[in-house]
Amino acid sequence: MIDNSIDPVRYPLAWNTSYARKGTQWRGGFDLTGYSEFLDLSGNVLELGSGDGNTAAAILPKCGNLVCADIAITSFKTLAMKGLNCLAADARMLPFKDDSYSAVFSRHVLTHAIPGDDALMLAEINRVLAPGGTVLIEVFSPGDMRFGKGTEIFPRTFLRDDGLVWRFYLGQDLDSLVRKAGLSVRHFQLMERKVRHEGQIYPRESIVMMATKN
């Protein structure tokens, strides 16, 4: 049962407040190595949840036309790159035509979606992908250091005090959701690593999946 403290329509807007208060929130970057063989970046490319622009910085030099979409308008103020085509958009109802993009990046967008909304987002990704187009999806999994923080409102899904939802996927759950959306899984990878923060070592764990529209 859904937690009464969550507005299922407006809860993603907590990111607007988060970026307005904190500014830049994400460290590190994105390495396309090993993924570019699956992706056609020569045409229209869409990044959902563009945030601070870590992914955009890696793919912009290699793609023909990049559109950055995020529900948090305030996130665009954190982007160091100039001239980006940025658009405020809800990933559950994308304002794009069918078959518009040869590639879509969705890194940690499903991570912040409650059950049901993840299916809507994947259906929209499938809709805007051109036939043969590919989406790169990344989500956190339960071995990550962030797991368990906040109030558990759905299985492996936590609501934090700032109103942000954090969800952690099992591989088989993500695989099932992606296939139900009509996409064909081409690549699956569990990424595990360690990070040091304030002298302590913490685990990071995420799933990267590549899926194609038939």
143-169 mean pLDDT:
95
User: Which of 192, 186, 194 is closest to 211 using CA atoms?
Assistant: 186
pLDDT tier, 1 (very low <50, low <70, confident <90, very high otherwise): very low
User: Which of 67, 63, 58 is closest to 39 using CA atoms?
Assistant: 63
Prediction pTM value: 0.93
- Rounded Cα distance between 214 and 211, Å, is 10
Percentage above 70 pLDDT, the chain: 97
pLDDT tier, 3 (very low <50, low <70, confident <90, very high otherwise): low
The CATH homologous superfamily of the domain defined by 41-139+153-188: Vaccinia Virus protein VP39 (3.40.50.150)
128-143 mean pLDDT:
97
Give how far the C-alpha of residue 44 lies from the chain's centroid of Cα atoms, to the nearest Å.
18
Specify the pLDDT at position 65: 94
Specify the pLDDT at position 113: 97
- Rounded Cα distance between 79 and 128, Å, is 25
- Rounded Cα distance between 124 and 119, Å, is 9
Q: Which residues contact 97 (CB under 8 A, 6 or more apart)?
A: 128
Task: Note the maximum CA span of the chain.
Answer: 49
Question: Tokens for 195?
Answer: 């990070």
User: Which of 212, 147, 139 is closest to 181 using CA atoms?
Assistant: 212
Q: What is the pLDDT of residues 187-208, one digit of tens each?
A: 999 999 998 878 899 999 999 9
CB atoms within 10 A of CB 69: 21
Percentage above 90 pLDDT, the chain: 77
Q: What is the pLDDT of residues 40-53, one digit of tens each?
A: 999 999 999 998 88
User: Which of 35, 79, 34 is closest to 57 using CA atoms?
Assistant: 79
Q: What number of residues does the chain have?
A: 214
Question: Measured in Å, how far apart are the chain's first and last C-alpha atoms?
Answer: 34
Q: What is the pLDDT of residues 100-110, one digit of tens each?
A: 999 999 999 99
Helix, strand, coil shares of the chain, percent, nearest 5, are 25, 35, 40
151 beta partners: 159
pLDDT tier, 37 (very low <50, low <70, confident <90, very high otherwise): confident
190 vs 29: which has the higher pLDDT? 190
What is residue 210's three-state secondary structure? strand
